[in-house]
Chain A
């Protein structure tokens, strides 16, 4: 479900009202220029609104600090130690000879606004600063005999999210923002078996 972010809705709504006022209430020669400026701001606000999914906000000292789920982003980490050549006509077992731990980290700090607040609210949408996945020697995959010959390996996929942080005044005015392009989702890593050559 795509949520409508209440703060951006307020900004968008107030911008639209101001645009209308400027175009129709003021009679000056620059009204079209102003109109297009307003329209651009309005469209940008709509774009901003549509790319965010509501996550969580906390208020402190007259400001509202919000984190928004900006959509799913995956990071794939190959396990090079598992690379194996498979020959068609034979079953091949692929695994690792020693335990391998792969990690995925957020591309930026999740702290924002108040100290440690960003981490706390980012956690409400299930993302974390770093996520690990260990592939032990007990884990193996079987490539069926019908699969084409080639090199295959295990890849670990870390699903995550883009996180947008915003600070608003109590009137709903946006005063600062920051984006973390990827933060791993908690405990959601999975493995895929891929051909790589």
Chain B
């Protein structure tokens, strides 16, 4: 390499002056071009970012409470109108698009740390290492947070940050969505793979339990956070019963989703009893209000940063030797912070380690 440089310098020195002028002019043009490119890549995006990825959603049309919409975030460096977003697999008459501008606040500290090449394994070890590592921990966080300024790295005014609502009016059995299309400012259509959203008439009959009232009959859009365990957080289901009934189990109909723990809180006027649901059934006394907290994880969500799924749960009871089931569904999805999107998409920073080695370890 050094030899090549020396040869280039020698060539330059032996050139006639007029040629030297052209060489300098050529280099100056390259320099100018390089500067303008670097300025544009600082704020411009290759294409808009669509946060709906790796979806794994099956919506039974009359299985449980369903919503007629899916929402997801889009970040763009040009203004987008709803006419620029289409769903190739569906006729335009049966869906509608709505865009809502989202607010952008301050740069989260973990994103700033990521720009400063944080080692999240080291951060975790130092934070959980007790007194012996306290001085080292303080020094490390001080070093990483040095010069923190919300607007230096990413100027939010360069971007448009939307929540897109995709709603359906006449969905039928067999309809599915695997991609969406956004037309850019030059009229070029860009197709995004979003995973799978399917609609089916598959039906798992719910039972008729006299005096049983499900207080929360469905949940839509609860935010989940990535991690190495694939945790879907907790689903809370409330109901009341008029007559005594025995809760035998809580099951999920999703192949990849597992239930970690079920806690049953039986609330009466005078006291609340909390019980862990095991193989033994739990007797729910007559006239009780009940809250069931279900901890879940999803094998398909392990170390995945963008994800959406709907959880299908069944509460199984025995009522005078007759089994009965109640259905419940919940749509959960990741939602990236605006700054995380820009840092990962524009500046190619990887937040996997932040979630798996630190935040959700």
Contact = CB atoms under 8 A, between A and B. Distances in A.
A194 B205 CA distance: 20
A136 B66 contact: no
A145 B217 CA distance: 12
Contact of A141 (B66, B124, B205, B222): B66
B214 A1 contact: no
Contacts of B98: 136, 138
A9 B134 contact: yes
A194 B69 contact: no
Instruction: Bin chain A's interface residue count.
Output: 35 or more
Interface string B175-207: 000000000000000000000000000000111
Interface string A142-163: 1111111010100001010000
Interface in A45-99: 54-58, 91
Interface in B120-173: 124, 127-128, 130-131, 134, 137-138, 145, 148, 150, 163, 165, 167
A194 B108 contact: no
B100 interface: yes
Interface stretch (B261-269, B279-287, B306-314, B353-361): B353-361
Contacts, number: 138
Contacts of B244: none
A147 B165 contact: no
Given A3-B127, A9-B134, A147-B65, A194 B105 contact: no
A12 B297 CA distance: 36
Interface residues of B, number: 57
Interface in A169-193: 185-193
Contacts of A152: 217
Interface of B: 62-69, 73, 96, 98, 100, 102-103, 105-110, 124, 127-128, 130-131, 134, 137-138, 145, 148, 150, 163, 165, 167, 205-208, 212-223, 327, 335, 337, 358-361
23 contacts: A1-B361, A4-B128, A6-B137, A9-B131, A58-B148, A120-B106, A123-B107, A123-B150, A124-B109, A139-B68, A141-B66, A141-B67, A141-B220, A144-B62, A146-B205, A146-B206, A146-B327, A150-B213, A190-B220, A190-B222, A193-B220, A194-B215, A195-B213
Q: 9 closest A-B pairs (Cβ-Cβ)?
A: A123-B106, A190-B221, A124-B109, A146-B206, A138-B167, A188-B223, A56-B109, A193-B218, A192-B219
Interface of A: 1, 3-4, 6, 9-10, 13, 54-58, 91, 119-120, 123-126, 128, 134, 136, 138-148, 150, 152, 157, 159, 185-195
